[in-house]
Structure 1
Amino acid sequence: MKDKLTFFPDRTSAIPEKDIPSYATEHWIETSDGETIQSFLFLHDKNKKSPLIIYFHGNAGNLYHRFDNAVRLFDMDHDVLLVSYRGYSKSTGKPNEKGIYIDGTSAVNYATQSLGYKEDEISIFGRSLGSAVAIHISQHRNFKNLILITPLTSGKEMASAMGLGFLKFIAGNSYNSLEKINNIHSRVLIIHGDRDEVVPYHMGERLFQAYNGYKQMVTIEGGMHNDLAEVDPMIFWGEIERFIQ
């Protein structure tokens, strides 16, 4: 029941091949528990590594819906690994909390072991539910940056925020980013809209207050959950670019 209320995967939407940038190539990542997840690598120069951003999206749609975001990040002189979770787009399996953490870890291992990036050259980007994946996999690692867009504190607090208090028992200790945040050694950027109707703004504030390392929080005034880049693109993209340079 919890997974059905958490994940809204799209297995069918895709971009026509002719519209995929020439610098973006499809990669298949084998997970430690036998699934195969789809990803795209946006690469500047195969002979000279740029810094890498690994992008984890939210709970709906699939990676094809994030191509525009990946291109914006690519234009900041970074390579981008855009990752699909199990059960999304062409990835095998069904999504669940443990599984998407495995997917995230497998993507990082692929980037370091197969693609040759060093941890301190990597920034982890997580949006909404993807922030929980980003925080989980960044624990006890040496990634350069951790970028969290509309991040949630925990599954239990999300149940309350959605008016589904009866699910707090089912949620248990799931997606508990607040508990994990100080296992991070990266520089942290949090961007949140103060009118977010899905993941309340105070969740981003609580994560920011809880983190003891280098951190920055950017508030998009009037921003809701899915429109931050439209409400104030100069601040949204500009602050990300400044942070990662």
Structure 2
Amino acid sequence: MAFKFASSRFVQFIRRRAVSIAAASSLLSVLAAAGCGQLAHKERELTFRVEPGTASWYSGLPDGVVESNLVVQSDGKSQNLHTWWWPAEKKDAPAVLYLHGARWNLTGQLFRIQQLHDFGFSVLAVDYRGFGKSDGDLPSERTVYEDAQIAWQHLATLQPDAGKRFIYGHSLGGAVAIDLAAHLAGSADGSTGKAARTEQSMPPAAKGLIVESSFTSLADIARSLTYPWLPLQLLLSQKFDSVGKISRVGMPVLIVHGSSDRYVPSRFSEKLYEAAGGKKKLILVEGGTHNNSMRLGATEYRQAFEELFGLAPDPA
């Protein structure tokens, strides 16, 4: 009863003070280590913070967006992944897979998807299982990695030219994007890569990876918000160890972060940049927050597309 009461009060505190989910996960993990058998489930709830229904600011799909479902085979049953496909006006435009972060489904992501489309990209956006109109209940690190790989296979049919395919991830979606890119390079760690493989071989690697407002690992950001000495990497079941994977990504990497991000400090993106190998670029958007760096840094984004990827997308 004591743990139930403490965890209930803690969740209320998180909601009231808008504390990062990473901090919530870490503290609940410490409590759980003292005897709670529901650690994994509670940690996943707090990590993904799924908001059901439609975002309050969503005003409907723009003309040209096609909704569809992809089938995922998991644990002997079929489940649907809900997607949006928004082709660019230019027939053979570069295409990007959009991987969102925690809490909001696709209806809460449209403003960023619109910005990518305005850059000239065709955009495939996917709701992980447990989000929006996709099947499933509570997501996990394993299932979101699986979903990204299934969506990537679909993007390869929509844009067959590997030199015109990109991966974009925002916040927690940045960790999913890094895992996908490492997996495409054949170097995802066994705990995620092996579980997510399908009988069909994966398509060739993308032209580039774009990661915005993300972090090094869930344990790192949790430590930054609680106590640095806590052995959170041992307590958390959801690792999202981007810093351990990004050096194995076999494509150019663009990392973007707002200097005024109150939720995920920009130093985490600086550490990701340092760990990345090969061709790479870091953009720190002056005054950018967790959600508006693409809009404020639009000019820097366009310059990076040309400098890093040799690509200058035409406006839609």
- The two structures have a TM-score, normalised by structure 1, of 0.88
Once structures 1 and 2 are overlaid, which stretch shifts more, 162-171 or 181-190? 162-171
Query: Once the 2 structures are TM-superposed, how far is the Cα of residue 173 of structure 1 from its aligned partner?
Result: 7.0
Task: Find the structure with the greater CA-based Rg.
Answer: 2
* Structure 2 gap ranges (5+): 1-41, 186-203
For the residue of structure 1 that corresponds to 2:109, the secondary structure is: helix
Paired residue type of 1:214:
K
Q: Is the alpha carbon distance of 1:132 and 1:24 closer, same or farther for their aligned partners in structure 2, counting shifts above 3 Å?
A: same
Q: What is the aligned partner in structure 1 of residue 53 from structure 2? A: 12
1:83-98 matches, cutoff 5 A: 83-93=126-136, 94-98=138-142
Give the length in aligned residue pairs: 242
AA of the residue aligned to 2:63 = S
Matched with 2:7 is none
- Please state how far the C-alpha of 1:77 moved relative to its aligned partner: 2.0
Specify the code of the residue in structure 1 equivalent to 2:145. Y
Q: What residue is the counterpart of 2:163 in the other structure?
A: 120
> Are the structure 2 counterparts of residues 108 and 154 from structure 1 closer, same or farther at C-alpha, using a change threshold of 3 Å?
same
Q: Percent identity?
A: 28
CA shift digits 1:62-119 (9 cap, x unpaired)? 1111112212211222210011111111111121100000000000011124x35333
Which residue number corresponds to residue 226 of structure 2?
A: 163
2:63 alignment partner in structure 1: 22
Question: How much does 1:166 deviate?
Answer: 7.0
Q: What is the root-mean-square deviation in Å for CA atoms of aligned residues?
A: 2.5
Question: Deviation at 1:19?
Answer: 3.6
TM-score, length of structure 2 as denominator length: 0.69
Distance 1:145 1:171 in 2: 30
Distance 1:20 1:221, change over 3 A: same
Q: Contact 1:37 / 1:103 at 8 angstroms: preserved in 2?
A: yes
Alignment partner of 1:202 out of 243, 267, 278: 267
Give the number of the structure whose residues are more often strand, by fraction. 1
When structure 1 is superposed on structure 2, of 191-200 and 121-130 the one drifting more is 191-200
Distance 1:234 1:134, change over 3 A: closer
Q: Who is 2:37 aligned against?
A: none
CA distance in 1, matches of 2:176, 2:62: 27
Counterparts of 1:86-235 in structure 2, within 5 Å, are: 86-93=129-136, 94-113=138-157, 115-139=158-182, 140=185, 142-163=205-226, 165=230, 167-171=232-236, 174-229=239-294, 232-235=296-299
Contact 2:166 2:209 in 1 (8 A): yes
Deviation (angstroms), 1:186: 1.3
Structure 1 stretches of 5 or more lacking a match?
none
Q: 1:63 to 1:21 in 2, by over 3 A?
A: same
